[in-house]
Amino acid sequence: MSAGPLTGVKVVEFAGLAPVPFAGLILADFGASVIRIDRTATSNLSIARDFLCRNKRSISVDIKSDEGFQIVKDLIRDADVLLDPYRPGVLEKIGLGPDVWLGGDGKAGENDKLVFARIGGFQTNGPHRDMAGHDINYLALSGILSLLPGTAERPAAPLNLIADFAGGGLMCVLGILFALFERQRSGRGQVVDADMVSGTRYLSTFPLLHHILGSGLFASAGSPRQTNLLDGGAPFYSIYTCADAQHVTVGCIEPQFFRVFLELFLKELPQVWLKKEPWVPDLSVQGNKAEWPALRDFLERGFKLRPRDEWAAVFHGRDACVVPVLTPTEAATLAVQGSASSQAALHPSPAPTLSRTPASSYAGPLALLPVGKDTEEILLELGRTQTEITKLVQVGVVGVSAGTGLAKL
């Protein structure tokens, strides 16, 4: 297998929560060498359980010690990318901020090719910058939560995907790649500031613009939530429960697809049941918003007459835009055809696929990266001798994971 497109790129990642580990995961999947800096067990601070760790290495360092601080500086001095998960000003306060590496005020930096990437929650120049928060809070301030489906009384928050991973981690990686590309021309690094509020807003350009236009796709001032085409209002763009309590999705927005859907759906309903219905939809109902509640009621009752997989078979291969709602295990089986039924199949493959320099995939068991697993190896690469490393372990400047020879010191 050929080397990934980021082979040779050195990344230092300070251990953190979801968005930063995800950014590091993407970079590692596509070939970058990612070293995660973990706290030592003696730091009396919690160590995050991070499953987004494949293809990474871990070094455990007491950064508050003089020797540990120097080790971290040596790592960053040789890096192409630094991933900062902390609130604004934390790394600056301890002497590892962008000015140290990129210079400023007429002073040269210690690594002026460094891409200093940080992921914050709230906008760095906004009134919430120093507050704690999570995905649901960033989503709220982005304006997107107000447009999401839910009830007439309140929107529903999805899993922490939109702000944490898309608006945060993925947008940060995009910024890093832009900075690395520009560095080829200038030879200089720069700061990449990604915050989850701004990232979510940019990611949501399409619904936000349609909200402004009042196009009828999403909620707007004159059109409440759950009454529009793409926010759960349209019965032909919705989710339905089947006889076995499982679900199918219907997304036949275009008239030609709605025609195929309605013809197949009516054909597969029991004729005895159909003849008892006082109202049966035809193609005109799609454009008649006043009849949408009646259509939704009809579809809800109709789908409950057969189990999910029977409905899936009815619409499979047809342009009706109907597919089943799969469980994660079912989706993995579909994505990895022929894979053994095991936890390994649940691992999502890196995307997108590159024809010549694809990302590396992982099919092993789900596991944490042990804190300090690669401490010795990384220190040797930094030029420390075995004697020096042993001493650093003994005095608690660095930590190693259980099972290594040094762990018994």
Of 38, 62, 84, 164, catalytic: 164
Annotated catalytic residue 309: no
Sheet holding 247-251, edge to edge: 237-241, 247-251, 322-324
Task: Report the Cα 254 to chain-centroid distance in Å.
Answer: 30
> How far is it, in rounded angstroms, from Cα 131 to Cα 44?
23
For 123, list phi and psi in degrees, rounded to 5.
-60, 135
- State phi, psi for 84 to the nearest 5 degrees: -105, 115
- Cis bond leading into 352, ω under 30°? yes
Give the closest residue to 55 by CA, choosing from 374, 408, 407: 374
d(CA 274, CA 278): 9
List the structure tokens of 392. Answer: 């650093």
Q: Which one is catalytic: 99, 134, 247, 309? A: 134
Question: Has 134 been annotated as catalytic?
Answer: yes
**Pairing of β 33-38 and β 56-61:** parallel
Calpha distance 90→157 (Å, rounded) = 30
- By annotation, the residues acting in catalysis are 134, 164
